[in-house]
Structure 1
Amino acid sequence: MGQLRRPESLTVGERVRFGGQVRLVLAVSGRAVTLSDMGGRPRAVPPAVLFADDDFEVVDSSGRMPLPPVSLLETLPQAALEKALWWEGHILEVLHGLPPEADAGAEPKPQYALSRSLTARERAKAVDLTSAGHKVTAGTVANYRRRYQKGGVMGLADHRPVRRTPKYGTVDEAVVEAMRQAISEATDASTRTGTFLLWRTEQILKASDIGREVRLPSRRTLYRLLDRLTSGTHTSGSAKTRRSRAHGASAPFGELPAFAPGEVMQIDSTPLDVLVRLDDGVAGTVELTGMVDVATRTVSAAVLRPSTKAVDASVLLARTVTPELMRPGWVDALRMSRSVLPHRRLLPLDERLEHAAGRPVIVPEMIVCDHGKAFMSRNFLASCRFLQIDLQPAHKGSPFEKGTIEKTLGSVGTLFTQFLPGFTGRSADHRGRHLDEEPLWSLLELQELLDEWIVAHWQNRPHDGLRDPAAPGRSFTPNEKYATLVEACGYVPVALSGDDYVELLPSLWRVVNDYGIKIKRRTYDSPALMGLRRQHSGVKEKKGLWEVHHDPYDISRIWVRDHHTGSGWIEATWKHLNRVPVPFGELAWDHAAQGLPEATETEIADAVAALLAKAHAGSGQPAKPKRAARDKRVVARTRATGPTTPAPVAPTDSGPPAPEVPGEDTESLAEVIPLGLFNPLEDPWRRT
């Protein structure tokens, strides 16, 4: 009898190995343990006999052999694999009485009968193998049997030929850590070559106490170590990709599910890969700010500007909830009534859709954006709160969290801008020559083309991301997807008034003085401010200042919120508007004021007027000094973006004439054409 091996516990339902078989424990008592038997009749075994059996052990409750790791077998050398499979056949005969290649209905050999103990079968196998020329002992067979029961075929294989080597070979760990530090320092720096990183690694080692005693390996070994440590980090590649990978979210990629139009929308801004013809013949670049609906892939709005500001993001919100009206020159096929959109069912809910083009009107519930200044501005946040929109900024350095808008803006470059004159390509490597000499479109013309292209092409183009699970072989268009989802989700129009538009403009807090309101050395005044002058607004958090909204593209007027009566907005015009009758933005004002740090407001206004007059000077004008390139760009970008607000009322009384400046041309000014009155009830987004 073998040595007694008592387990810590033995309960009913466990499996034990006894007498060469795996048996189920049916009952446990102080006198006997009842075990199942392959013969069908339970067997009661005294605990002392059970625990002293050579084969006894408590096996896993699953009671089955592990699955063979076929993929790992392919990593073994052919000789090691053949030897492992050879041992498997002999071990299976020891365990089950028959080899794996035995015919159906074959009987085990007498020495391998299951009625014999496992130890006896192992001894018989050792005798058979020795007689066949393979000198082994019963202990060797038992060792291979245990290895097979624990690890399957891989347990029988000789792992010495594929033994794992250290991850970084024989390189000292201090060298590895120093190189990791050098690579980490290069994450936010400019891209350098491997030579610099090796030099920086040596400097880090020399500065450390442990590194002084470490001997550096050969140059070739260091380069191999650098290749291994920088794999997938773009350390010597794109700096943008390197930072994105280093600072991006470490959690698994995810995506907000969207099952209704407007449930999740994404907004972003990017430079457009095309040149436009700005004022005075200057060629310049523009930025595209767009918003896309995740559920339908609808581009609800897209705005082109010389540079994106917070007001542009707010304008995008207003255009999203406003129908795209048909414009002169557009074919009737672009009407919403001619599209797949449910125009007849939506028209009773929103009368604005009567003359709308085939682009859905989507009210956002959540907007995902990055941390750009235009989207994190106080104005855009207030606009989202005003429209009851949940703004969800993505993690920094994680553009994949708004991958839909990233891919959409990229598609505009491949599907739209590459067909335009002045296409620059995505980088300097793809840029052609003499692009500014091509027949470029103006900014307003390009905006018209983009709006028409979105309605005509994008909204009717099958999108691979709009496949229905019930019909995976078909991809839907954005309009088709919207028509399907709006039937289940419904439609609620959001109409914006003139006051709503003012709410979307950037805000400032200023004092209302006796002379009016001062903004960037400009003075605004209105008779309606009489009761607000030198008065406390009642807003304690702002120390009694008054809320002022302004348009960066039109400095001719501002709007002041009446905190006392709550009656709405008070419009105030610029004091020197009669000196510069042409509308312009803050870009031209800041450019002129920068060169005149000690000038008065009147002098700055005259400087801006002169700058704009140069822009309007025709070829027949007398010769004038050549303007600087900076002046040309400022004038062009200022005039390219016209005022986004309704024009102010032209003053009927121009007041006393401005004093003449010595040496100034006293030629009479051009006739000023009065502009129309602002109607607050009129749709401010109607295009003429």
Structure 2
Amino acid sequence: MSTRPRLLSLGDRVHYDGREHTVAALHGTSVRLVDDAHAASVVLLGHLLASEGFAVLSTGPARPPLPEEGVLDGLPEEVAERALWWQRHLTELMTGRPDATPGTTVRREYDPEVHSVRQRELAKLAELREAGEEVSLSTLQRLRTRFEREGVAGLVDRRLVKPSTGTSRADPRVVAAIEQVVNSRTDEATVSAQVLRRKVERLLAAEHGAGAVMMPSRAAFYRLLEAVSTGRHLLGSARTRRSLGKQPKRMFGQLTAARPGEVMEIDSTPLDIMVIHDDGKVDRCELTGLVDVATRTLTAVVLRPSTKAVDAALLLARAMTPEPMRPGWSDALRMSRSVLPYTSLLPLDERLAQAAAKPVIVPETVVSDRGKAYISDNFRNACRHLGISFQPAHPDTPTDKPHVERTLGSVATMFAQYVAGYTGRSAETRGKDPAAQAAWSIHELQELLQEWVVAIWQTRPHDGLRDPLMPDRPLTPNEKYAALVSAAGYVPVALSPEEYIKLMPREWRVIGAGGVRINNRTYDARELRPYRRQPSGAGPDGKRWEVHYDPYDISCVWVRNHRGQGWITTTWRHLRTSPVPMGELVFDRAHQVLTERERRRPHEEEVAQAAVKLLDRAADGPEGGAERSAGQSKGRRRAVNRRDRKVAARTRATSTTTWPRPELPAANQAPQPEPDPDPEAAEENEEVAKVVPLGIFDAREEAKRWR
């Protein structure tokens, strides 16, 4: 601690430029200095005071240091009282006043204008001895020097102020061995302290010889182990220990994003929910999310059995495409009834008229880990095509993308726990048979997750979104987006349908008489008539046509028109037997700005009610799911035919559209089949006759008719 600066006056001795000088004159901001060789120099006062090594060496009137708050907190009461007692006496010795308050009477024997420091020290020494305090002159001088340098903290025994490490009296060889063992356990399994004690014993014997170093007692070893492993989570969760070990050994940086999409983070994590996959198997799935750092908006989420490069590319397309309203969603989830700048953005993209209350954000920079799906050529090419800067994180450093890590963790705690089939975060929190409680297919759960993002996540105040002008009020992701759009002049240009198609996986197929076949499904359209059984003139062999498909929406595929321009949208031939989810939506309210938040209480109540219904529906499962689960025993459910489960799961998975995409031709209606010379295709197009149930054959009754 530094003391208060003394007054600089004529005759003072100062240290400047490596030599001692005497202040000869003061004029305005200039100081005339004379060194011991009688060499004079004029220095600006500001330069003199800021120069390196400057110090006032003269013994003028001393000043006590500035008081410090809290330096005596935590010390024994008698130690704190003793330090304050010395503070009063030393302050009187230095200034002549016990409390250094201006205006109080200066004691004559301690007047710094009359007596020197030595005279005042002798006077104070005599006073203390008369009061029965035996103090030597050297002790008094040492305390005065420490008080001038450190303040009241210098009057406390250093043994009480120095923080205890818990290992000061232990053998340093034992402490070093414990530290080596603790450092080696970062990626290892959690074991008991007794196992670690044995490892330390073996390490000491290997380095110093058997019996050369005496091991401390068990209790002392446990205290040393606790002192060395503080903050390491040594005897706790191995997952937490690995996470702490991956943190950088330096000060954390601060990344500030000033506009939406400036920095976005993408990552995947297993979701703690058992789902029914398309093949009928019950297993967990993976959650992949794209988070905007500036607004904390969960711009896109997707559930899938495993991570693929196409999923990451489609996630970029999803972030740049408006989120459509789904049938059954509450009207309060419409963009026109939210704080988003709907009125100003609608002229840029008419699709926002049918969009939910989630902003469209165009990524500028995407940060990801080094997973295969993200460093693949497919994902890199998608970023390059969209003009996105791809920034991979350092290897095994999750702190390079903390926002998406925390956001996906919040999805696990705020959404997964309410869904039927929740497995728990670990085996300790898992139920008896979570697979038996699985009720949702992966695509049905995707629809629930999309609704949860709009209804709950985007309208929930986030503690990391605090405006500098209103630090006491956290904003929601939608509110932060509206505020940044106004401040940064951000105008998102949504992804066009052609660009969306180009990001999808590609296959080369022949256009047959019945259309195009992808994954054992036939897709057809009237526009394919001139190209049936015709070569494309492109591709590897010049015969097949380029087809793009959405792996999470089987309703249609897109065929590149190599003879012309653009794409031909072909629909699944059996799509007419499935419900079409989307229709025309009309909004009845205009945009309301962020400053009108207090006037939107009815809207907030509607959103809250929609969120509650969503979580309840997720917990209950699909309609009839609870009854089916209650009416069937565990053995009965496992005995269901595998083919029947596959058909049921695929029917549920393909009943609704997951991704926003280019509109289907002819108002989303499947094309009528054309005359097809192919017998197999004709048989497939033939209408099914009415089924007449047959009675049970009874031999006795049949014999009576023959009589």
TM category, shorter: 0.5 to 0.7
Compared CA separation, residues 154 and 345, structure 1 to 2 (3 A):
closer
Matched residue, 1:11: 21
Compared CA separation, residues 95 and 639, structure 1 to 2 (3 A):
same
Matched residue, 1:684: none
Q: Give the residue type in structure 2 aligned to 1:199.
A: R
Matched residue, 1:304: 303
Structure-2 separation of matches of 1:654 and 1:61: 115
Matched residue, 2:105: 106
1:202 aligns with 2:201: yes
Matched residue, 2:175: 176
Compared CA separation, residues 100 and 474, structure 1 to 2 (3 A):
closer
Structure-1 separation of matches of 2:507 and 2:248: 34
Compared CA separation, residues 569 and 203, structure 1 to 2 (3 A):
farther
1:233 aligns with 2:239: no
Superposed counterparts of 1:540-559, under 5 Å: none
1:262 aligns with 2:272: no
Per the TM alignment, residue 334 of structure 1 is displaced from its structure 2 partner at its CA by 3.4
Matched residue, 1:392: 391
Superposed counterparts of 1:499-648, under 5 Å: 501-505=501-505, 528=535
Per the TM alignment, residue 170 of structure 1 is displaced from its structure 2 partner at its CA by 3.6
Asked if structure 2 preserves the Cα contact closer than 8 Å seen for 1:326 and 1:355, the reply is yes
Per-residue Cα deviation, 1:471-522 (whole angstroms, up to 9, x for no partner): 34444333333233323423242433446534453899xxxxxxxxxxxxxx
Between 1:281-290 and 1:183-192, the stretch displaced more is: 281-290
Structure-2 separation of matches of 1:111 and 1:338: 77
Per-residue Cα deviation, 1:242-274 (whole angstroms, up to 9, x for no partner): 112112222322342122221122222222222
TM, length-normalised to structure 2: 0.64
SS at match of 2:170: coil
Q: Give the residue type in structure 1 aligned to 2:496.
A: L
Compared CA separation, residues 292 and 633, structure 1 to 2 (3 A):
farther
Per the TM alignment, residue 62 of structure 1 is displaced from its structure 2 partner at its CA by 13
Structure-1 separation of matches of 2:160 and 2:383: 65
Asked if structure 2 preserves the Cα contact closer than 8 Å seen for 1:14 and 1:61, the reply is no
SS at match of 2:188: coil
1:458 aligns with 2:468: no
Give 5+ residue unaligned stretches, structure 2.
Answer: 1-12, 41-54, 509-532, 569-637, 665-669, 687-707
Structure-2 separation of matches of 1:394 and 1:410: 19
Between 1:422-431 and 1:162-171, the stretch displaced more is: 162-171
Structure-2 separation of matches of 1:84 and 1:339: 62
Structure-2 separation of matches of 1:670 and 1:278: 32
Per the TM alignment, residue 321 of structure 1 is displaced from its structure 2 partner at its CA by 0.9
Q: Give the residue type in structure 2 aligned to 1:505.
A: P
Between 1:641-650 and 1:392-401, the stretch displaced more is: 641-650
Per-residue Cα deviation, 1:212-253 (whole angstroms, up to 9, x for no partner): 632222222222211112211122222222112112222322
Compared CA separation, residues 561 and 376, structure 1 to 2 (3 A):
farther
Matched residue, 2:428: 429
1:334 aligns with 2:333: yes
Asked if structure 1 preserves the Cα contact closer than 8 Å seen for 2:340 and 2:359, the reply is yes
Matched residue, 2:469: 470
Asked if structure 2 preserves the Cα contact closer than 8 Å seen for 1:274 and 1:285, the reply is yes
TM, length-normalised to structure 1: 0.66
Matched residue, 1:484: 483
Per the TM alignment, residue 300 of structure 1 is displaced from its structure 2 partner at its CA by 1.7
Q: What's the C-alpha RMSD, in Å, of the aligned pairs?
A: 5.1
Per the TM alignment, residue 157 of structure 1 is displaced from its structure 2 partner at its CA by 3.9
Compared CA separation, residues 29 and 198, structure 1 to 2 (3 A):
closer
Compared CA separation, residues 478 and 61, structure 1 to 2 (3 A):
farther
Structure-1 separation of matches of 2:421 and 2:319: 29
Give 5+ residue unaligned stretches, structure 1.
Answer: 16-23, 35-55, 509-525, 536-546, 572-624, 658-668, 675-688
Asked if structure 2 preserves the Cα contact closer than 8 Å seen for 1:244 and 1:398, the reply is no
Per-residue Cα deviation, 1:340-367 (whole angstroms, up to 9, x for no partner): 3333322222232232233221111122
Per the TM alignment, residue 314 of structure 1 is displaced from its structure 2 partner at its CA by 1.1
Per the TM alignment, residue 532 of structure 1 is displaced from its structure 2 partner at its CA by 6.5
Q: Which has the higher contact order (CA 8 A, sep 6+)?
A: 2
1:97 aligns with 2:96: yes
SS at match of 1:73: coil
Structure-2 separation of matches of 1:365 and 1:637: 38
Asked if structure 1 preserves the Cα contact closer than 8 Å seen for 2:265 and 2:368, the reply is yes
Compared CA separation, residues 448 and 31, structure 1 to 2 (3 A):
closer
Q: Give the residue type in structure 2 aligned to 1:150.
A: R
Per-residue Cα deviation, 1:641-678 (whole angstroms, up to 9, x for no partner): 76999999999989999xxxxxxxxxxx995459xxxx
Structure-2 separation of matches of 1:199 and 1:628: 55
Asked if structure 1 preserves the Cα contact closer than 8 Å seen for 2:285 and 2:305, the reply is yes
Between 1:88-97 and 1:228-237, the stretch displaced more is: 88-97
Q: Give the residue type in structure 2 aligned to 1:126.
A: L
SS at match of 1:201: helix
Structure-1 separation of matches of 2:113 and 2:59: 21
Matched residue, 2:270: 271
